[in-house]
Chain A
């Protein structure tokens, strides 16, 4: 897990007993990461807020039975991820009258994204790659991933969970985590190459004219 991981210094005994002060400490420590995850998962601030609230309401209710087999953070990530996936299902079924499968990959994701865009755009200045417009494009690119791939990408590359922790959160094997991560990253690479490749080409054309 990355540097944002909170040291788990909570009293399980107090949490299981329903100690409000201890629970408030837990909420304070983890609400930031859970909100960030929810926001990226469901792409809507109101839905993300609902996910955040439901996550901690369910955690509080389930704490008396928390067996400590996984870490508190993994356990919270699991609740938050399930809540976010349910929110996505509800929204999808409300909009098209059908449910989406979160376990099955989308039709275009059951194989490795074959590189189509082979453009070297790594020479672009970092400021250009991190402009507000570029960031908005990157956000949109994540939204094109199926929930199954998006979840793994967010947990591994944004939240910094290990392969094993991600597998625990999603209750899938580590092989599945690696496969989904690979597909998510290759897909995002493709989309970013499309976007930044064009900019790199324009830049080198402009430089050529300037000579």
Chain B
């Protein structure tokens, strides 16, 4: 990647995929992408990278034994069993 324009846009690509750029900068990148295959590939693979991390991220759960020790360390033993009823009440 040694095209001067490509280098210039490098720092904006992350904001670009988040849709957080000012309209004119966004339009500038759109125009550049029409003529630059390398940048299209970089954008596509950047999007795919973020997507893959999002979809493969584990659900936010705590292993049961870790949870038990957490409650003990917080002196909350009496509330350990509440999980079953909480789980049941979730939609």
The yes or no answer to A60 lying at the interface (CB within 8 A) is yes
B79 CB contact (under 8 Å) in A24, A32, A122, A163: A24
Chain B: interface secondary structure? Answer: helix
A-side residues, CB < 8 A to B, are 4, 20-21, 23-24, 27-28, 31-33, 35-36, 45, 49, 52-53, 56-57, 60, 112, 114-122, 129-130, 135, 138, 157-158, 163, 178-179, 181-182, 185-186, 188-189, 192-193
Contact A118–B1 (Cβ < 8 Å) = yes
- Compute the total of residue contacts between A and B using a CB distance below 8 Å: 123
Count of B interface residues, CB-CB < 8 Å: 42
B-side residues, CB < 8 A to A, are 1, 7, 10-11, 13-15, 20, 38, 41-42, 44-46, 48-50, 52-62, 66-67, 69-71, 73-76, 78-79, 82-83, 86
CB distance from A61 to the nearest CB of B (A): 11
Specify which chain A residues have a CB less than 8 angstroms from the CB of B55 in the assembled complex: 130
Chain A: interface secondary structure? Answer: helix
State A182–B42 Cα separation when bound (angstroms).
13
| Closest Cβ neighbor of A178 among chain B residues | B15
State A133–B72 Cα separation when bound (angstroms).
36
State A116–B44 Cα separation when bound (angstroms).
15
Contact A122–B48 (Cβ < 8 Å) = yes
Q: What are 28 A-B residue pairs whose CB atoms fall within 8 Å in the complex?
A: A4-B60, A20-B76, A21-B79, A28-B79, A28-B86, A33-B60, A36-B58, A52-B70, A112-B10, A114-B10, A115-B1, A118-B38, A118-B41, A119-B45, A120-B45, A121-B45, A122-B48, A129-B48, A130-B55, A135-B56, A157-B50, A178-B15, A182-B14, A185-B46, A185-B50, A186-B46, A188-B49, A192-B45
